[in-house]
C-alpha cells in the first residue's frame, strides 16, 4: 500500500508554450529538439508522425508556430527537468516533476475505474481524447477511438479547455501525455512505498503517463504507462509541475 510521506500540489494545467518561453527568455536554454534540429510532428498527408526539421517547443503538433496557451510539446524529459529546476530557483519553492504515483493518484481523483472518468464511454467534455467523430483538417478520422466521442480538436487544445476532475485538475486524461520523474521499471516491485519518484542515476528511459489527443482508448486507461528515452521529443508529450507543500 502506498502512503504519501508529504503533501504535494500539481499545476492545474500542463505547462504552456508561453510559460516555457519565459524560461527560455530568462535563461537562454536550448532544448533538445533545437540542438538536434528536428522533432516528430503530425503529417496530415500520411496521417502519421514523421521526423520534421526545425520543429521545437515553439511548434504545435504539426510543426506550425504554436499559440502561447497551447501545452508545450516537442520537449524531452531533460527539457522538462531544466524547466522545473529553473522554476524552483526563481520562485524559492520546491518545484519538481511529479512522481508516477502522484500522477496516477491525481488522475484517478478518488476513482478506481478503468478510465479516469469511470468504466464506460467518456462523458461529453471530459477531455481531449481520440473521438470517433474527431476529424483532422483534411478530413481524416481515427481507426481506434472512443466511438461516439467528439471533442472538437485534432491536436492539442488550449490548456484548461475541458472539465476539470474532482481535484480541480485539467487534461490529465487527455490533451498531451506527460513526463513524470520516474525512471522506467517494468514493474512496481521494490518501488518506493512513499509515493516518491523511483529514480536511478543516469537512467536513459523515463515514464510517460496520461492519455493524449492521439492516444488509443487502451492508452487512455488510468493505469497506462509507457517508457520513453529521456531525449525523445514529439507532438504528443508535454509535462506539468509538482510542488512540495
Q: What is the pLDDT of residue 2?
A: 76
Q: Predicted confidence band at 187 (pLDDT cuts at 50, 70, 90)?
A: very high
Mean pLDDT of 168-189: 97
Share of the chain above pLDDT 70, in %: 100
Q: Would you tell me the crossing angle of helices 17-27 and 77-91 to the nearest 10 degrees? A: 70
Read off the pLDDT of residues 220-236 as tens digits, 9 standing for 90 and up.
Answer: 999 999 999 999 999 99
Tell how strand 177-183 and strand 237-238 pair up. Answer: parallel
Give me the chain's average pLDDT, please: 97
Q: Predicted confidence band at 40 (pLDDT cuts at 50, 70, 90)?
A: very high
Nearest Cα to Cα of residue 145 among 234, 238, 61, 219: 219
Residue 218: pLDDT over 90? yes
Distance between CA atoms of 204 and 46, rounded to whole angstroms? 30
Read off the pLDDT of residues 94-145 as tens digits, 9 standing for 90 and up.
Answer: 999 999 999 999 999 999 999 999 999 999 999 999 999 999 999 999 999 9
What is the per-residue DSSP string for 161-217? -S---TTS--SSSSSSEEEEEEEP-SS-TT--TTS-----TT-SEEEEES--TT--G
Q: Answer yes or no: pTM beyond 0.95.
A: yes
Distance between CA atoms of 80 and 206, rounded to whole angstroms? 12
Non-local (6+) Cβ contacts of 95 within 8 A are 84, 87, 88, 241, 242, 243
Distance between CA atoms of 215 and 222, rounded to whole angstroms? 13
Amino acid at each position: 500500500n502506498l502512503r504519501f510521506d508529504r503533501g504535494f500540489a500539481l499545476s492545474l494545467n500542463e505547462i504552456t508554450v508561453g510559460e516555457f518561453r519565459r524560461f527560455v527568455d530568462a535563461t537562454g536554454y536550448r532544448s533538445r529538439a533545437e540542438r538536434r534540429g528536428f522533432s516528430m510532428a503530425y503529417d496530415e498527408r500520411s496521417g502519421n508522425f514523421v521526423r520534421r526539421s526545425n520543429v521545437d517547443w515553439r511548434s504545435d503538433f504539426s510543426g506550425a508556430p504554436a499559440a502561447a496557451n497551447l501545452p508545450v510539446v516537442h520537449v524531452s524529459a531533460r527539457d522538462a527537468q531544466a524547466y522545473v529546476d529553473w522554476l524552483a530557483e526563481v520562485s524559492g519553492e520546491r518545484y519538481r516533476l511529479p512522481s508516477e504515483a502522484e500522477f496516477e493518484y491525481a488522475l484517478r481523483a478518488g476513482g478506481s475505474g478503468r478510465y479516469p472518468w469511470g468504466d464506460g464511454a467518456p462523458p461529453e467534455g471530459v477531455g481531449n481524447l481520440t473521438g470517433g467523430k474527431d476529424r483532422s483538417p483534411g478530413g481524416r478520422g481515427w481507426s481506434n477511438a472512443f466511438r461516439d466521442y467528439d471533442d472538437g480538436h485534432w491536436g492539442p487544445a488550449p490548456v484548461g479547455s475541458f472539465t476539470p476532475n474532482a481535484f480541480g485538475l485539467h487534461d490529465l486524461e487527455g490533451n498531451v501525455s506527460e513526463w513524470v520523474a520516474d525512471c522506467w521499471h517494468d514493474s512496481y516491485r521494490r518501488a518506493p512505498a512513499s509515493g516518491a519518484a523511483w529514480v536511478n542515476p543516469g537512467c536513459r528511459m523515463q515514464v510517460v503517463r496520461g492519455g493524449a489527443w492521439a492516444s488509443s482508448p487502451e492508452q487512455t486507461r488510468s493505469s497506462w504507462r509507457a517508457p520513453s528515452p529521456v531525449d525523445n521529443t514529439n507532438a504528443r508529450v508535454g509535462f506539468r509541475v509538482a510542488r512540495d507543500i
